[in-house]
Structure 1
Amino acid sequence: MLSSHKYLAPGMTVGLLGGSFDPPHAGHLHISQEALKRFGLDQVWWLVSPGNPLKAAGPAPIARRMAACRDLARDPRIHISDFEARAGTRVTADTLAALQNVYPSVRFTWLMGADNLAQLHRWGRWREIMARVPVGVLARPGDRIAARLAPAARIYRHAMLKAGEAPLLSRAEAPAWCFLNVPMRDESSSAIRARGEWRG
């Protein structure tokens, strides 16, 4: 059974933050809480991936990453999910299709940092992602200009909500996206691993 979220009412708005979370850090928590506040979301799910197909080295075991996420995310609106592992999906387009099949009455919004928007056109079936769900983009330090000039931003400029319309994003019909400049914490999983503070 793929459904594991008991407290979902029809029409609830859920932001999806995907990643390896290897390890999770304060930046993940900050971006989630900003998204909850600014995009009118009821919940945010951290979709802990089995592994990133774009990375050669595998992450730490998913059970360890899930446990670390639960230790960090004490906000009751943030839920830790291994949906991708249970559904057997590896690319975002497939994950979204599976989620919408299991939770047809939930309104999902895909969340990403501006660095991901800059490379979104390299993702598998990325136009399908834009067609399926609204996308909320939160700027990280140094990524704003590159993200705004990215192919995805140019192609879908007509579907961009203004910053003042951000609370409407979670109920907008796709394609729709919103780019927000927010104070971000300049932390990364790779930096934590490089310091030897997390071992797989």
Structure 2
Amino acid sequence: MPRVNFYWIMGADNLCNMHNWYNWKKIFYMCPVIIVNRKGFLYKSLHSKASSNFKNNRFDIRQIKNKKKLPAWAFFNIRPNPNSSTNLRQNIG
């Protein structure tokens, strides 16, 4: 049987409000959470209620293949794409 690893991937803007979600803490215990930088949300997301709650569970994104213990989360600080997702969807097809 193939072994599959699941990751929860979301933008930094969502991390800022994640504490308002129903049972949001459970997500951190289900699979590693990967936060992708979004323009204007770097500081706010890294100081959010969710990141503060799991501050001792943050790991270096380069160690993702070795991360087994949950809860766990990492911040993927990449240069944001200037294109909006709405524009990308409208140009498909």
How would you bin the TM-score normalised by the shorter chain? 0.7 to 0.9
Report the counterpart of residue 110 of structure 1 in structure 2.
Answer: 8
Which residue of structure 2 aligns with residue 188 of structure 1?
A: 84
Q: TM-score, normalised by structure 1?
A: 0.40
Q: Relative to 1, partners in 2 of residues 1:166 and 1:142: Cα closer, same or farther, differing over 3 Å? A: farther
Distance in structure 2 (CA, Å) of the matches to 1:183 and 1:148: 16
1:165 aligns with 2:63: yes
1:153 alignment partner, SS class: helix
Q: Which consecutive unaligned segments of at least 5 residues does structure 2 have?
A: none
**Residue 167 of structure 1: how far off its partner (Å):** 4.2
Structure having the larger proportion of residues in strand = 1
The alpha carbon displacement at 1:166 in A equals: 3.8
- 1:119 to partner: Cα distance: 1.2
TM-score by length of 2: 0.81
Q: Which has the higher contact order (CA 8 A, sep 6+)?
A: 2
Q: 2: distance between equivalents of 1:184 and 1:167?
A: 24
Structure 1 position 11 matched with structure 2 position 3:
yes
Overall identity of the aligned pairs, in %: 28
Aligned mates of 2:52, 2:81 — CA distance in 1 = 27
Distance 1:183 1:166, change over 3 A: farther
What corresponds to 1:132 in structure 2?
30
* 3-state SS, counterpart of residue 137 of structure 1: strand
Over 3 Å counting, the alpha-carbon distance change for 1:186 and 1:124 in structure 2 is farther
The higher radius of gyration belongs to 1
Deviations, residues 56-99 of structure 1 (Å, cap 9, x unaligned): xxxxxxxxxxxxxxxxxxxxxxxxxxxxxxxxxxxxxxxxxxxx
**Cα distance in 1 for residues equivalent to 2:80 and 2:54:** 25
For residues 145-182 of structure 1, the C-alpha deviation after alignment (integer angstroms, 9 at most, x for no partner) is 0100100000000100034434434xx22200001211
Aligned residues: 90
Letter in 2 for 1:11: R
CA RMSD of aligned residues (A): 2.1
